Amino acid sequence: MQRIIYIPFDHLHRNFGAMKGAEPKTDLIAFVESARMTTGRNWNPARLHFLISSARHFAQSLKDEGFTVEYLKAKTTIEGLKEARAIHGVLPIICAEPSSFKQYEQLQEFGVHFVANDFFLTPRPLFKEWADSQKNFLMENFYRQQRIRLNILVEAKKPIGGAWNFDKDNRLPPPKNYIWPQYLEHPLDDIDRQVGDELSYPPPTTWATTRSGALAQLDNFINHHFAEFGPYEDAMTTDNWSLHHSLLSPYLNNGLLHASEVIDAALRAFETGNIPLASCEGFIRQIIGWREYVNGMYWFFGPHYRENNQLNAHRKLLPLFTDSNKTSMNCLKVTISDIQTRAWVHHIPRLMVLSNLALITGVDPQEFLDWMREVFIDAAEWVMVPNVIGMGVHADGGQMMTKPYAAGGAYISRMSNYCKPCKYNPKLRTGETACPFTTLYWDFLDRHREAFASNHRMSQQLAGLNRLSDLPEVNERAREVLEGLSKGQI
Ligand code: SF4
């Protein structure tokens, strides 16, 4: 053996990262299942199961190919790598650039040699070049540049269909009496069951843990959901937990699928003429726009960005985040219990229900970030830091997003069927049955009036606040709601 290739649990692809060009004759492959990773935090067991079982399946596929594989359990990653060297000699260790600052630093300190991280379509230096050239970091500007650079849905540098995005055709509320396609189930195998036993957790069949399962999920999305993806991508309904979402982010984020494979499949389907442009563009934007942008911003902002708390939010994490019985708010009950079941809800409940609540109640951003990292199946550090600190709770003072994503109950009422059975009324801002979102939205604006005064994108909201004749009553009700939420009684 000439070298050790270390495979982190989010680099599980044979043709990308350090495995590209690897040879069974010369390369020993090392995986480390560290105690820090498995027991260090209060991880959602569905997430833990998915990550560990996927890594063990990938390790098995490499053994089947003829590689010598060390799958080590150790206290930390570095301890595991030392063990690999103790068994096989002090060989050089190779790894693709890790996906978090912390791991980058630890491995670099240990002397691991990095090859470029090509699990994204945008090399880190290229993103930096773009960000350095911008006054503000509008995702839309980055996305348009990506479309041209990658030659996707463009002709002569102009967007096909005459527009860069078709959100006006999307953003529909959930349809009534609609037949949703069946979910794809992924039967458990021996490795899945073994990991489940070790974690004392019976895993759901929602998530694949193999490359072939991830490819089947991609096919399922393209064949049964892609055409309808756009119109309902922002809708929330108790009729169906996944709607027409692809459910591909776990596989993209642990490496079982590469972004280029997903884009190629989407464009091939679009070329058949059966996929409306609005759906195709909306999906492509998630992959070559948002996903790349968020990863780029993580590296661009640096390791201290996650510590931002520019709205001075210090409330402890609300009890409802860990126990859906601690609230009567139907939108939260549904969202939290979905997360407990399968470690996933789509981007709108994450942004407009969970983060919105954390934002307008003033939950400590780092506590909320930790919770978001722990509960979602696809919650890599690089995903969650910009998404929570920048987008979700505006803790960076607007470095990433020009205005906070704060909303009252009217948005949730329009985009879901959650409000009808709820004991609260999204139209009311005062009184016992007022929707907590609606009350707290106005109270939040009032609390941060000064901070937002110079932000012209907030002028409409502040003008609305100034027109409220019952602001003292709203503030009074907000105090009761905040106290009740902190006690788990709202
Ligand atoms: Fe949520 Fe308010 Fe609607 Fe109830 S009324 S489901 S609390 S948005």
Residue 412's pLDDT band (boundaries 50, 70, 90)? very high
Please enumerate in sequence order all residues whose Cβ is within 8 A of that of 150, keeping only pairs 6 or more positions apart, or say none.
121, 263, 288
To test the pocket of ligand 1, the residue of 324, 360, 418, 420 to mutate (highest count of ligand atoms within 8 Å of its CB) is: 418
Atom 2 of ligand 1, residue of closest alpha carbon: 435
Q: Is the CB of 426 under 6 A from ligand 1?
A: yes
Residue 426 CA: nearest ligand 1 atom is 5
Matching residue, tokens 């000064």? 450
Q: Are residues 83 and 165 in the same domain?
A: no
Q: pLDDT-based confidence at 360, cuts 50/70/90? A: very high
419 CB near ligand 1 (under 6 Å): yes
Residue 17 DSSP symbol? G
Ligand 1 geometric centre to CA of 441 (Å): 13
Assess whether the C-beta atom of 424 lies below 6 angstroms from ligand 1: yes
What is the Cα–Cα distance from 75 to 444, expressed in whole angstroms? 44
CB-based contact 482:473 (threshold 8 Å): no
Ligand 1, closest atom to CA 425? 5
**Region 323-332: what's the mean pLDDT?**
97
pLDDT at 367: 98
**In the structure encoding, which two tokens stand for residue 177, read together?**
């009496």
Find out whether the beta carbon of 439 lies less than 6 Å from any atom of ligand 1: no
Looking at the structure, do residues 290 and 393 belong to the same domain, yes or no?
A: no
Based on the domain organization, do 128 and 260 belong to the same domain? yes
**Average pLDDT, rounded, for the chain:** 96
Q: Are residues 328 and 276 in the same domain?
A: no
By most ligand atoms within 8 Å of CB, the mutation choice from 422, 438, 441, 481 for ligand 1 is 422
Average pLDDT over residues 116-134: 96
Instruction: Tell me: do 140 and 285 sit in the same domain.
Output: yes
Rounded to two decimals, the pTM is 0.96
At 40 the pLDDT is 79
Same domain? 144 vs 230: yes
Q: What is the DSSP string of 190-228?
A: HHHHHHHHHTT----SSS--SHHHHHHHHHHHHHHTHHH
Ligand 1 neighbour 329 (Cβ under 6 A): yes
Distance 416 CA to ligand 1 centre (A): 10
Element (H, E) at 77: helix 77-88
The pair of three-digit structure tokens given for residue 376, joined into one six-digit string: 């979602």
- For residues 370 and 118, give the distance between their C-alpha atoms in angstroms, rounded to a whole number: 27
Residues 480 and 341 reside in one and the same domain: yes
The residue whose CA has the least distance to atom 1 of ligand 1 is 331
Closest CA to 22 of 7, 10, 5, 6: 5
Ligand 1, atom 7, lies closest to the CA of: 329
Which residue has a Cα nearest atom 8 of ligand 1? 409
Decide if 300 contacts 386 (C-beta within 8 A). no
* Contact in structure between 276 and 229 (CB atoms under 8 Å): no
* Residue where a domain terminates, one of 301, 327, 358: 301
- Taking only the tens place, the pLDDT of each residue in 275-288 is 999 999 999 999 99
The number of folded domains in the chain is: 3
Kindly report, residue by residue over 301-318, the tens digit of the pLDDT: 999 999 999 999 999 999
E strand or H helix at 69, and its extent?
Answer: strand 68-74
The contacts of residue 429 (CB under 8 Å, 6+ apart) are 408, 435, 438, 439, 442, 470, 474, 477
Hey, which of 238, 335, 353, 412 would you mutate to test ligand 1's pocket, going by the most ligand atoms within 8 Å of its Cβ?
A: 412
Distance 177 CA to ligand 1 centre (A): 22
Helices vs. strands in the chain: H and E counts, helices first: 23, 7
pLDDT digits (tens, 9 = 90+) for 53-90: 999 999 999 999 999 999 999 999 999 999 999 999 99
Residues 167 and 239 in one domain: yes
pLDDT at 426: 98
The yes-or-no verdict on residue 115 having pLDDT over 80 is yes
**Burial (0-12, 13-18, 19+ Cβ within 10 Å), 92:** exposed
Ligand 1 midpoint to CA 473 (Å): 20
Residue in 374, 448, 377 with CA at minimum distance from that of residue 406: 448
Q: 437 in ligand 1 pocket by Cβ < 6 Å? A: yes
Residue-range definition of the domain harbouring residue 94: 3-115
Q: 127 falls in which pLDDT band (50, 70, 90)? A: very high
Provide φ and ψ at 70, rounded to 5°.
-105, 115
pLDDT at 139 over 80: yes
Cβ atoms of 333 and 357 closer than 8 Å = no
Atom of ligand 1 nearest to the CA of 423: 4
Other CB atoms within 10 Å distance of the CB of residue 323: 13
Pairing type for strands 27-34 and 3-6 reads parallel
Query: What does the alpha-carbon distance between residue 447 and residue 454 come to, in Å, rounded to a whole number?
Result: 15
What residue has token string 């776990």? 250
Answer yes or no: is pLDDT of 168 > 90: no
Ligand 1 mean position, distance from CA 290 (Å): 28
Examine the domain organization and report whether 287 and 317 are in the same domain. Answer: no
pLDDT of 214 > 90? The answer is yes
Looking at 96-100, 217-221, 452-456, which range is the least confident one?
452-456
Q: How far is the CA of 198 from the centre of ligand 1 (A)?
A: 39
One-letter identity of residue 277: L
> Which domain CATH number covers 53?
3.40.50.620
- Ligand 1 site, residue 435, Cβ cutoff 6 A: yes
Please report whether residue 40 resides in a domain.
yes
Give the model's pLDDT for residue 171: 84
- Do 85 and 91 touch, CB atoms closer than 8 A? yes
CATH code of residue 445: 1.10.579.10
pLDDT number for residue 74: 97
Residue 220 within any structural domain of the chain: yes
Statement: residue 203 has pLDDT above 80: yes
Instruction: Answer yes or no: do 218 and 328 share one domain.
Output: no
135 and 82 in one domain?
A: no
Q: Which residues of 135-164 are buried (b: 16+ CB within 10 A; e: fewer)?
A: eebebebbbbebbeebebbeeeeebeeeeb
Q: Give CA–CA dist 143/231, Å, rounded.
A: 20
CB distance 349 to ligand 1 below 6 Å:
no
Q: Give the pLDDT band of residue 411 (cuts 50, 70, 90).
A: very high
Residue 244: strand, helix, or coil: coil
- Tell whether the model's pLDDT for residue 169 goes beyond 80: no
Q: Are 294 and 383 in contact (CB under 8 A)?
A: yes
Position 196 in a domain: no
Q: Which residue has the tokens 């990550």?
A: 51
Tell me the two tokens of residue 317. Answer: 């994490």
Q: Is 53 in the pocket of ligand 1 (CB under 6 A)?
A: no
- Mean pLDDT calculated for residue range 324-339: 97
Pocket test for ligand 1, best of 320, 357, 413, 442 (most atoms within 8 A of CB): 413
Which residues lie closer than 8 Å to 234 by C-beta, 6 or more apart? Answer: 170, 171, 172, 348, 415
Is the pLDDT at 122 greater than 90? The verdict is yes
Contact 411, 423 (CB under 8 A): no
The verdict on the CB of residue 440 being under 6 Å from ligand 1 is no
Q: Is 274 part of any domain?
A: yes
- Answer yes or no: are the C-beta atoms of 168 and 313 closer than 8 Å: no
Rounded to whole angstroms, how far apart are CA atoms 101 and 299? 8
Ligand 1 pocket: which of 415, 428, 437, 438 to mutate (most atoms <8 Å of CB)? 437
What pLDDT, on a 0 to 100 scale, did the predictor assign at position 70?
A: 97
Instruction: Report whether pLDDT(193) > 80.
Output: yes
Q: Which helix (H) or strand (E) holds 332?
A: helix 330-342
**Digit-coded pLDDT (tens) for 247-273:** 999 999 999 999 999 999 999 999 999
pLDDT for 39 equals 86
- In this prediction, residue 170 carries a pLDDT of 79
Confirm whether 364 is domain-assigned.
yes
Give the pLDDT score at 114: 97
**Ligand 1 near 278 CB (within 6 A):** no
Q: Does 360 contact ligand 1 (Cβ within 6 A)?
A: no
* Assigned domain for 199 exists: no
Asked whether residue 48 falls in the same domain as residue 109, the answer is: yes
User: Quick check: is 414 in a domain?
Assistant: yes
Listed residues 301, 324, 359: the one ending a domain: 301
Two tokens at 313?
């939010």
* 173-186 confidence digits (pLDDT tens): 999 999 999 889 99
Q: Is 409 in the pocket of ligand 1 (CB under 6 A)?
A: yes
| Strand order through the sheet with 68-74 | 68-74, 27-34, 3-6, 93-96, 113-115
Instruction: Using alpha carbons, select from 361, 344, 357, 435 the residue that is nearest to residue 392.
Output: 357
